[in-house]
């Protein structure tokens, strides 16, 4: 086997030439590696944002439209139940009204945001992008918690004896507590829904007019003429005041 001995350097100029070739080669390799990594994370970030956009647009936002649209309807139903209690209606009549009170129960999803936030993708988001996407997803867990609490209070409203006759004072007090809780939850979900719609719009995510009209149509079929198209412009997420006048 023939062995090629390294050529001896002949002066500083040749040494610098060889050194420059090595340095340029190393820098080129590092730059290429960085470019590949940049392209990789850019694709990962784009995919994560697409997933969040789809999750909001196809799931959470239509639900937000529905809940904001029926806020008045649910409030009127609660007024009717309380009026019956105040008029000392019998137990069976109050129960019929309570059974008719059936707000939608939905899951408020944030899987795409959790996946992005818990991975290295979040570290490649600019602070501005991170704030924009964290806005709507900060509201989603609160809506889920209120939705669960609403269902618990609806069960409380329905609980009790099914026998005929006048309700006891204890039953009436329990009903009134449940109604007050349900009012608060209905207001909170509607306000949160409008906030979610406003913050999602800041992130460039909106529901198409066609989808909005479909949701409104479904709600009107179920709840009647009390359904109103939501107006997220009532909400200013950057204000410390409450322009919508809600609690």
Q: Is residue 69 in some structural domain?
A: yes
pLDDT of residue 118: 76
Within a domain: residue 4? no
In a domain, residue 242? The reply is: no
Residues contacting 133, CB < 8 A, separation 6+ = 49, 52, 113, 116, 125, 203
Residue with tokens 């809600």: 246
Q: What is the pTM of this model?
A: 0.78
| Total tally of structural domains belonging to the chain | 1
Query: What is the predicted pLDDT for the residue at 148?
Result: 95
The ranges of the chain with pLDDT < 70 are: 1-20, 23, 25-42, 44, 121-124, 236-247
Q: Is the CB of residue 48 less than 8 Å from the CB of residue 113?
A: no
210 lies in a domain? Answer: yes
pLDDT of residue 73: 97
Backbone dihedral angles phi then psi of residue 164, each to the nearest 5 degrees? -75, 165
CA 210 to chain centre: 21
Domain that holds residue 101: 12-223
E runs forming strands in the chain: none
Q: Which residues contact 213 (CB under 8 A, 6 or more apart)?
A: none
Residue 229 lies in a domain: no
Q: What is the pLDDT of residue 48?
A: 84
Residue 245 lies in a domain: no
- The verdict on residue 47 lying in a domain is yes
Three-state DSSP class for residue 117: helix
Instruction: Give the CA-trace dihedral at 15, 20, 21, 27, to 10 degrees.
Output: 150
- Distance CA(87)–CA(90), nearest Å, equals 9
1 domain residue, yes or no: no
DSSP state of 166: B
Q: What is the pLDDT of residue 183?
A: 97
Q: What is the pLDDT of residues 59-108, one digit of tens each?
A: 999 999 999 999 999 999 999 999 999 999 888 899 999 999 999 988 89
71-86 vs 61-69: helix axis angle to the nearest 10? 40
Q: What is the largest CA-CA distance in the chain?
A: 113
């Amino acid at each position: 086997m023939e062995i090629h001995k390294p050529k001896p350097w002949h002066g500083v100029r040749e040494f610098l030439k060889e050194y420059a070739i090595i340095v340029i080669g190393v820098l080129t390799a590092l730059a290429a590696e960085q470019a590949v990594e940049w392209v990789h994370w850019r694709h990962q970030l784009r995919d994560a944002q697409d997933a969040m956009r789809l999750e909001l647009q196809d799931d959470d936002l239509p639900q937000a439209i529905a809940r904001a649209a029926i806020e008045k309807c649910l409030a009127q139903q609660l007024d009717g139940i309380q009026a019956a209690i105040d008029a000392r209606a019998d137990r069976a009549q109050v129960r019929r009204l309570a059974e008719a009170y059936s707000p939608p129960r939905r899951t408020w999803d944030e899987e795409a945001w959790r996946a992005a936030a818990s991975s290295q993708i979040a570290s490649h988001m600019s602070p501005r992008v991170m704030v924009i996407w964290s806005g709507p997803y900060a509201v989603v867990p609160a809506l889920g918690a209120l939705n669960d609490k609403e269902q618990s209070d609806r069960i409380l409203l329905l609980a009790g004896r099914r026998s005929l006759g006048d309700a006891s004072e204890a039953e009436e007090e329990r009903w009134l507590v449940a109604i007050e809780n349900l009012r608060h939850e209905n207001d909170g979900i509607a306000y949160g829904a409008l906030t979610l719609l406003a913050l999602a719009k800041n992130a460039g995510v909106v529901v198409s007019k066609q989808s909005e009209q479909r949701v409104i149509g479904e709600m009107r079929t179920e709840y009647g003429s009390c359904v109103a198209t939501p107006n997220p412009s009532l909400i200013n997420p950057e204000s410390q005041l409450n322009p919508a006048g809600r609690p």
